A and B are shown apart, each in its own frame.
Chain A
């Protein structure tokens, strides 16, 4: 590409300024403020416009180069490219989008309207404005201000250019930015960064959510249990109420019963009291009854006394009659005397018989004694003695029982005879026994007669005593009889008086005629009084707990109490037991409910619903997705950047190095024959006089500038390779050079301009003079 000419209609201070350029070396000479930089900026802006939107004037060429007369910035530029000539006419607006651009094909006479943000420079030359600025557009602003900074900046830019083809972009820096961005999301260790943090938060949240689900389930279970228990409690409460109501019914029934009983008892009391009313309106009370009974008793006692007295008198009269009769009958005494004598006679006869028998016995005994041992004799004597004693005793003591001793004596006697010593005594024994037997009978008869005699004698004696006594008695009794009859009369009179009083007293209650009816009345009163007392006690008992004091009050209360008599009633104890059971169960259920509710209010008071976590969770998931996307994008970019870097390094890096060496050697008049750009883009150079390379940092500032200049030109060539080379615009790049270097530089440019158009802007006339010796077009813009 070659710039043919420019026509500045209005741009900064320049107006209607036309300049033509040669294909080779052009030197634009002008003093400071003559517009050299303005022309350079005009050329650049004709191709690229300006995207700067900064408000300050220095950073925004659209403001900086605003024509002083206020007219719009405008102009045209003609250039050849790929053997074709073009003209750009441009009127600058506020931005690239509003610039009016016309591209003319000068050879064909056609034009194209460029609109929007299209950059003609980029479309024609294939390089961006930035690349253009930093390669072919070499201003003096890039020169270092001092050595130390210059070295660093040159190194830096050189590295950038060799690594990225752009001195502003360092591959490593760009890579680091991407890596840093990646590591903001996930660190190399994978443990730090936004993603692991948020992932950890998400996991924590999900754990909380899971725990929350379990807690909610537990809460629901507890709630269900509470609901079930509350149902039970309700049932039990109803049961309790029912039982309580039943107890109340029982109480009501009891109360009713008491009131009814009270009313009945009270009414009966009143009736009884009425029945006890006396003629003087007073009541026949216990005192009345007692008086009555006393009176009756007194009358009755007198009556009894009278009866007794009468009986005594009768007995006395009988006694008198008997005594009188006894005195009148003496035949009995003679009869008794005769009887006594008869007995006496019989007794005498018997005694005689006994003597005979005893003689017989004595004979037999003597015979037997001779034949029997001595013992028999003893038996015999003993028997006789005993019998005799017995008989005497019986007679003396007048006790027949003693006669049993006779029997014993006889037995002994018999034994004496039974006792055999020899068979020859048997006959004697028999005889003796018979004699004894007879004797015994006689003795019995004697005893009987003797007793009879004694009796007759006693009777006779008593009869005589009686007769005497009766006589005396009769007299006494007759006297007594008189006395008694007088006393009886007195009693009868007194009794009549008392009976009259009794009848009068009883008639206060009811009329009576005799003591019997008075007694009946007293019994009736007593019965009524007992009934009255019973009614009183009944009423008192019944009224307990009712709080009533009168029948009317009781009746009123009764009317308020529901009659539940028709309801089946259970036993109150059973009901109380049932109520106790139900209450206990109810209390247990309530206790359980309370415990569960306490658990609900404490264990779940900060519980969240699982859904509450969703929003936080979704937000974290969204963040994680974004972070993952970003990380993956950074990874992709990182990888692609690596690939691009390899490409650049492969082709561009070595080409730059080679071309930079060629140009650097030429600029320095072959003082340096080797330039190496390390992997780290450090530049080392070596000259003809030495074999060793020296780092560019050790060289002078002029050499730095030369190296940098060579590199910029090499870059310009390489960047514009596809478009056949770019015009190189230089803004006083030799300002810091000494004369030798300036000469060498100009010489180099002259040579270089044979292949590439050079537009060299300078304010130094000397440079123009040196250049003028060569085939250089000098364009003087000095005003």
Chain B
């Protein structure tokens, strides 16, 4: 194998997913996921990718609309020099209602069957192995049924599954043994939405690229695809960011704020500092922390309104505390002082950290009630 083979590995795109958690932005986000896929195919042309491996869950389900399927097929056609291999996942199993089965497929698109399969590419000395999900769930196995031969071919596998030990799991459990005995040079996995890094067991590299475009706040951080090259049996690879937007779960200290407007400015400034000029493209779940002086009243609804003009999407959780010297306050012979004293005593009397945190929250919630209405402001 003295030729250089360049491949692109992606998975878990979930075209057509509802994205309810993105609220009013859901529709735009769905379009952006499609755009992200288009960009990935552009990457194939830019990087002269010969083989693209899509490890399942391309579609959110088998009921996706025709235009989504047509768009995907158009993208495949837009990269004619790239041979695209697709192994269906648990979201879009290769069943009779699979969205791709009723369409005329481009010549450069190969869909792996539900049985173990090997597709040889004699002209470039590559064999692509794998299998598709046959239903919403599928049991795994410790070995791949098609043995690998020492024939000088580069062996790649594309498969959707859950890396683990329990092969009775519902999502095609991929065990260490499976990887070790596969004889593959690289196994392109899908199912886990977070980039795993490229790992190696025995002589086989394997990786989860994660989803190229995130779908919610459980998928924070940068997302992308793996572009790898095999040259003389040596793998070189890079993780290329593809996500149009990222989801961020951030804590912002607004202790210095005295008004809602000020708090919004602090938030924007802080996000800008963290994520640069493009900070406003992200989707944020913001937890406001810090200690606000008594009398400083900050309204989350006002902050949200102000942020909506500058940020693409933000949901805010208020976890600020009242700025107060508890040691002094506890000695006050007032209701507040007594309250603080009782709450501090309760905190002292517990060894449970979470219980202590809860008591502390309860204390600040009570203290907040001394100066203003207490609202549960999770939006």
Contact = CB atoms under 8 A, between A and B. Distances in A.
A349 interface: no
Contacts of B334: 127, 131, 164-166, 169, 648, 652, 719
Contacts of A224: 134-135
Given A53-B293, A610-B136, 11 more contacts: A131-B332, A177-B369, A178-B365, A185-B376, A223-B134, A615-B216, A618-B218, A619-B21, A627-B378, A637-B362, A641-B369
B121 interface: no
B332 A633 contact: no
Interface string A591-614: 000001100110011111111100
A220 B136 contact: yes
Nearest to B330: A126
A483 interface: no
A135 to B, nearest CB: 10
Contacts of A607: 61-63
Interface in A205-230: 213, 216-217, 219-220, 222-224, 226-227, 230
A403 to B, nearest CB: 117
A721 B333 contact: yes
Interface stretch (A2-10, A114-122, A662-670): A114-122
Contact of B374 (A126, A130, A180, A600): A180
A600 B97 contact: yes
A609 B369 contact: no
A597 B20 CA distance: 30
A126 B328 contact: yes
Nearest to A194: B376
Given A633-B362, A636-B362, A597 B374 contact: no
A119 B294 CA distance: 14
Interface in B330-357: 331-339, 341-343, 346
**Most A Cβ at <10 Å: residue of B296, B335, B338, B363:** B335
Contacts of B273: none
B285 to A, nearest CB: 10
Contacts of B361: 629, 633
Interface of A: 51-54, 117-119, 122-123, 126-128, 130-131, 163-166, 169, 171, 174-175, 177-178, 180-181, 184-185, 194, 213, 216-217, 219-220, 222-224, 226-227, 230, 596-597, 600-601, 604-612, 615-616, 618-619, 623, 626-627, 629-630, 632-638, 640-641, 643-645, 647-648, 651-652, 718-719, 721-722
B16 to A, nearest CB: 10
B93 to A, nearest CB: 7
B10 interface: no
Contacts, number: 214
B333 A615 contact: no
10 contacts: A51-B293, A131-B332, A174-B369, A180-B374, A219-B136, A220-B93, A222-B96, A616-B21, A633-B358, A640-B339
Nearest to A164: B335
B339 A641 contact: yes
B205 to A, nearest CB: 27
Given A130-B294, A609-B61, A637-B365, A223 B135 contact: yes
Nearest to A632: B358
A161 B278 CA distance: 53
B63 A169 contact: no
Contacts of B96: 222-223, 226-227, 230, 596-597, 600
A119 B325 CA distance: 9
Nearest to B359: A636
A514 B3 CA distance: 101
Contacts of A117: 323, 325
A51 B328 CA distance: 16
B333 A718 contact: yes
B105 to A, nearest CB: 17
Contact of B91 (A213, A606, A609, A652): A609
Interface string B191-208: 000000000000000000
A749 to B, nearest CB: 24
Contact of B295 (A51, A230, A596): A51
Interface string B89-130: 011010111000000000000000010000000000000000
Contacts of A618: 218
B376 A128 contact: no
A609 B90 contact: yes
B268 interface: no
B368 to A, nearest CB: 8
B376 A719 contact: no
B311 interface: no
B331 A126 contact: yes
A268 B301 CA distance: 109
B365 A128 contact: no
Nearest to B114: A227
**Most A Cβ at <10 Å: residue of B62, B331, B359, B365:** B365
Nearest to A626: B378
Nearest to B337: A165
B305 interface: no
Contacts of A616: 20-21
B135 A119 contact: no
Contacts of A596: 96
A165 B329 CA distance: 13
Nearest to B368: A177
Nearest to B339: A644
A118 B376 contact: no
B370 interface: yes
B374 A163 contact: no
Nearest to A593: B96
Contact of B136 (A217, A632, A634, A652): A217
B333 to A, nearest CB: 6
Nearest to A161: B334
B309 interface: no
A163 B335 contact: yes
A645 B334 CA distance: 9
Contacts of A227: 95-96, 114, 134
Given A169-B334, A612-B17, A612-B18, A634 B365 contact: yes
B166 interface: no
Q: Which 7 A-B pairs have the closest CB atoms?
A: A165-B334, A223-B95, A164-B335, A637-B366, A220-B135, A644-B338, A53-B258
Nearest to A122: B328
Contacts of A597: 96-97
A633 B319 CA distance: 13
Nearest to A634: B365
B294 to A, nearest CB: 7
Contact of A645 (B335, B341, B343, B346): B335
A608 B16 CA distance: 11
Nearest to B342: A640
B21 A644 contact: no
Given A178-B365, A180-B374, A629 B258 contact: no
**Most A Cβ at <10 Å: residue of B18, B317, B358, B376:** B376
B373 interface: yes
A735 B343 CA distance: 43
B365 A181 contact: yes
A637 B91 contact: no
Contacts of A219: 62, 95, 97, 135-136
A644 B345 CA distance: 12
Contacts of B375: 181, 184
B215 interface: yes
Nearest to B338: A644
A282 to B, nearest CB: 70
Contacts of A633: 358, 361-362, 365
Contacts of B114: 227
Contacts of A601: 97
A492 to B, nearest CB: 100
Contacts of A180: 373-374
A605 B317 CA distance: 37
Given A219-B95, A629-B358, A609 B378 contact: no
B340 to A, nearest CB: 8
A220 B346 CA distance: 56
